Amino acid sequence: MNIGVVGMGKLGLPCAVAMAMKGHQVMGFDCDPRQMSTEAREYLETGPDGHSPFNPFLAASDLAFGSLPEVADFAEIIFVAVQTPHQPEFEGVDRIPAERVDFDYQFLERAIGDLAKVITKETVVVVVSTVLPGTMRRRIMPLAHDKMKLCYNPFFIAMGSTMKDFLYPEFVLFGVHDDGAAKKAAALYRTLTKAPIYLTSVENAELIKVSYNTYIGMKIVFANTLMEMCHKLPGTDVDQVTDALKLATRRLISGSYMSGGMGDGGGCHPRDNIAMSWLARTLGLSCDFFDSLMMAREKQTEWLADLMCEIDLPKAILGYSFKPDTNLTVGSPALLLKSILEERGESVFIYDPLVDEETIDVSRLDPMVFLIGTKHAAFRHLTFPPGSVVLDPWRFITNTQADVRVVALGIGDSPNDGVRGIPGR
């Protein structure tokens, strides 16, 4: 098929390459001309196997770029993968403001409005962007004309493994507005993946997407609650507790995201909780569950700040990308921790080998209390400055230096070694 993709960012570009790899003719467009190239990108992404670098797939791709009228003239199906962002204060790197807001739909509305001006033949237009329930019918569909056959198809992908997640999803979700459009888009997907296709109403699909993301945030909050409990309960080990829960696949679903560590992060999950909190308040729900999740994330990060402040050493955070193997920092819980420490008057050194251009030899720094903010493999065997304390919420540091104290958070069976509330390892 001839496929168009509007939005050549961190979502649209890898998915466009994936469809081109499967033999489709794909033409992309972005309002930023710098995005329309096959040159190496500034973010880390993997290929369809989840391990090989993305850039060779991009360079070898026959992905084409064109103007919006050219894409409209070329494509049978156009995917619209533009951002629906929140303001920076709602991304989860600072404390949550008192107000709650919906997503910002101006970019999506502009994209659909611009497509309406250039589409002159019957074309399936597939909206990928995350929206709250009711948005497509209230704000997007009125911008389209009868040649534009709309359906809603949000992706369930993680930044850094976009191609893999697009080609090997758990399921493909369609919010059906036009039966013919859904059938044609489903036929395309049958050439891309063997995953089941779930057809439902547009409003259901909108809610399924944000529910999926916020459910992940709920699991992380729950696992981190167990980590804090185990840290304070003698004879407990959070990994042994969560490893047992992961076996309960009939009732508790899966073990993904069920490990103690840092809070939820990324460009979707924190902001989706904020948007769902806004929706809960708008609908007058009996309980704003999503606000509780975000407040729990914030309080759990405060607890990490408490542990660091109990140690009379300069403060350092190693790793502030929102997850391993990526240089993306949006929604980073480590940056939220930095913000909370700075509120308390602390000066905080942060370093991430995948984000910062300069490579730093940590062993040559002054003694500090280091917290491992991101579970980068490079940190596992680090040499730390003598006299340092390392707080490890992931329990993966293997450092055995006699002059460095490594504290595995979430294990309560070690004797207290002199620092209040922090058992040693």
Residue 34 CB: number of other CB atoms within 10 A?
Answer: 8
pLDDT tens column, 166-178: 999 999 999 999 9
What is the distance, to the nearest Å, from the Cα of residue 252 to the centroid of all Cα atoms in its chain?
22
Best CA proximity match to 209, nearest among 330, 127, 291: 127
Q: What is the pLDDT of residue 418?
A: 35
Instruction: Compute the distance between CA of residue 15 and CA of residue 172 in angstroms, rounded to an integer.
Output: 14
The mean pLDDT of 273-292, rounded to a whole number, is 81
* Two tokens, residue 271: 């902001």
Beta strands in 120-213 (DSSP E): 123-127, 148-152, 172-176, 197-201
pLDDT band at 285 (very low <50, low <70, confident <90, very high): confident
Residue 157 forms beta bridges with which residues?
Answer: none
Work out the mean pLDDT of the chain and round it to a whole number.
Answer: 88
pLDDT tens column, 99-154: 778 888 999 999 999 999 999 999 999 999 999 999 999 999 999 999 999 999 99
Residue 99 forms beta bridges with which residues?
Answer: none
* 60 contacts: CB under 8 Å, gap ≥ 6: none
Residue 286 CB: number of other CB atoms within 10 A?
Answer: 7
pLDDT tens column, 327-338: 888 888 999 999
Phi/psi-derived region of residue 198, left when phi > 0, alpha when psi is between -120 and 50, beta in every other case:
beta
Question: Could you give all domains of the chain from N- to C-terminal order, each with its CATH number?
Answer: 2-195 (3.40.50.720), 211-408 (3.40.50.720)
Q: What is the pLDDT of residue 157?
A: 87
Does the pTM surpass 0.85? The reply is: no
Out of 13-22, 45-54, 247-256, give the one with best mean pLDDT.
Answer: 13-22
Q: What is the pLDDT of residue 262?
A: 76
* Two tokens, residue 393: 């919420």
